[in-house]
C-alpha cells in the first residue's frame, strides 16, 4: 500500500466531507473502518429526514467478493444501529456509502461492483471502489426499477463526495 498517497487522499476527503456538511465520527463503533462520516438532513427528493453514512477502508488487491460484500454489509448494519430518530420508512431514511480504496483493481472486482446492488426497506447501501492508481470510482451503474427515483442521485453524490476528478472540477470553477 502506498501510505502517503492514501493518507493524502484521506486528508483531502476530510476537507471535502466538511464542504458537503458531513461530520467525521469517532471510530469506536466502526473498528474495521479507516474513516466514517455522517450527515443528517431533510431531503425533499427522498421525502424524508435522511441519515447518510460514508465509511472508508483501504483494501489491497486481490479484492474478492467476500471482502467487498462483507465490508459493505457490516457498515450498513453498524450505521443502522448508530442512527437515531424515528422508524425507517416513516419520514426517515438511511443511505450508506461504503468506499473501498485500493491500488489497482482487477476486472473481476470492477465487474462485480458494477453489478452489486442490495435492496433494503427505505434504506440504501451503495458501495464504491476507488482505484488510487487512476482515481477512477467504480460503483453500480444501472438503475433498478424499484430505485428509479434515487439511483441517479446516488451516482452523482458518490462522484462528488469521493472522486478527486470531481473535486478538481469544482476547484477549477471557483
β-bridge mates for residue 96, sequence order: 53, 125
Q: Is the pLDDT of residue 128 over 80?
A: yes
pTM, to two decimals? 0.90
Q: Which residue has better confidence, 77 or 147?
A: 77
Number of domains in the chain: 1
Q: Which residue has better confidence, 77 or 150?
A: 77
Rg of the chain's alpha carbons, rounded to an integer? 15
Q: Cα 66 to chain center, whole Å?
A: 17
Instruction: Determine the average pLDDT of the residues in 25-42.
Output: 81
pLDDT at 46: 54
Q: Is the pLDDT of residue 1 over 50?
A: no
Instruction: Determine the average pLDDT of the residues in 105-112.
Output: 92
Domain that holds residue 41: 3-173
Amino acid at each position: 500500500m502506498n501510505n502517503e498517497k492514501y493518507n493524502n487522499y484521506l486528508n483531502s476527503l476530510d476537507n471535502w466531507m466538511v464542504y458537503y456538511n458531513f461530520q467525521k465520527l469517532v471510530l469506536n463503533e466502526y473498528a474495521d473502518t479507516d474513516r466514517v462520516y455522517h450527515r443528517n438532513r431533510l431531503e425533499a427528493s427522498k421525502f424524508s429526514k435522511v441519515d447518510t453514512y460514508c465509511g472508508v477502508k483501504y483494501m489491497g488487491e486481490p479484492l474478492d467478493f467476500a471482502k467487498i460484500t462483507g465490508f459493505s454489509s457490516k457498515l450498513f448494519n453498524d450505521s443502522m444501529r448508530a442512527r437515531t430518530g424515528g422508524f425507517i420508512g416513516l419520514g426517515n431514511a438511511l443511505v450508506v456509502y461504503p468506499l473501498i480504496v485500493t491500488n489497482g483493481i482487477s476486472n473481476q472486482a470492477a465487474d462485480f461492483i458494477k453489478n452489486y446492488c442490495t435492496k433494503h426497506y427505505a434504506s440504501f447501501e451503495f458501495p464504491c471502489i476507488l482505484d488510487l492508481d487512476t482515481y477512477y470510482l467504480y460503483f453500480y451503474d444501472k438503475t433498478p426499477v424499484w430505485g428509479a427515483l434515487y439511483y441517479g442521485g446516488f451516482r452523482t453524490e458518490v462522484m462528488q463526495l469521493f472522486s478527486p476528478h470531481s473535486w478538481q472540477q469544482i476547484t477549477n470553477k471557483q
